[in-house]
Amino acid sequence: MTVSSTPTSPPKRHDTKGPLTCCPRCHKAELLGRAMRRPVFRYDKVDAAERPSFYDMFHGDQHVGTLTRRGSSGSSTYDVRVMSDTGDVELMAGSLRDARALAEETYTAQWREGAYTARGPVREL
């Protein structure tokens, strides 16, 4: 009795660092996982002599936004810029706290839809 061997393709290796671009199954699983998590952000303050201070916003190592102070110390507002592959989103907020919340919510909504492929730190909801 002979056993015929049929050539089979090797098993697919899934891209765990970039699941959004791996296959439909990985894409769906990544989006479902993102729905149950929230990105963790880091802010770095940058002081420049000739321009107002601003904050760079990071998700992991990826620079995802900028919060720029506008106006004098008494009546300042903040320009919020969240970067995206489809185009930057520019918004305005009345305080630094509001600017951070606005930037985080804007980024998180796009991140959950799969707009950003890079991974960064997250926390459970």
- pTM to 2 decimal places: 0.81
Q: What is the pLDDT along the chain (125 residues), one digit of tens a residue?
A: 555 555 676 777 888 788 888 899 999 999 999 999 999 999 999 987 778 889 999 999 999 999 999 876 667 899 999 998 788 999 999 999 999 999 999 999 999 998 887 778 999 98
Q: Which residues contact 101 (CB under 8 A, 6 or more apart)?
A: 93
Q: Which residues contact 82 (CB under 8 A, 6 or more apart)?
A: 57, 64, 65, 88, 89, 91, 103, 106, 107, 110
Residue at 34 is within a domain = no
Beta bridge partners of 54: 46, 68
Q: Which residues contact 111 (CB under 8 A, 6 or more apart)?
A: 34, 39, 59
The total number of structural domains that make up the chain = 1
Residue at 80 is within a domain = yes
Q: Which residues form the domain of 56?
A: 40-114
